[in-house]
Amino acid sequence: MVSGKRLADVGYRVFSGSMMLLTLYGGYLCVMRGYRYVQRQKELPADSRDIKD
């Protein structure tokens, strides 16, 4: 039978791993949002020039 300490260690590792994956995924989402924001800012001056002409 599995001891309580062993079960707690495995549970802690699983929990820590899932939190690490969530953190990495959140970082990825933030980076992609920033990248899209920068790309949109680069496109805005081109759009405003088209309207003036």
List, for residues 3-53, the tens digit of each pLDDT value. 999 999 999 999 999 999 999 999 999 999 999 999 999 888 766 656 654
Looking at residue 24, its pLDDT comes to: 98
Note the pLDDT of residue 8: 94
Paired tokens of 24: 């990495």
DSSP string over 1-53 = ---HHHHHHHHHHHHHHHHHHHHHHHHHHHHHHHHHHHHHHHHHHHHHHHHH-
pLDDT for position 51: 60
pTM of the model: 0.67
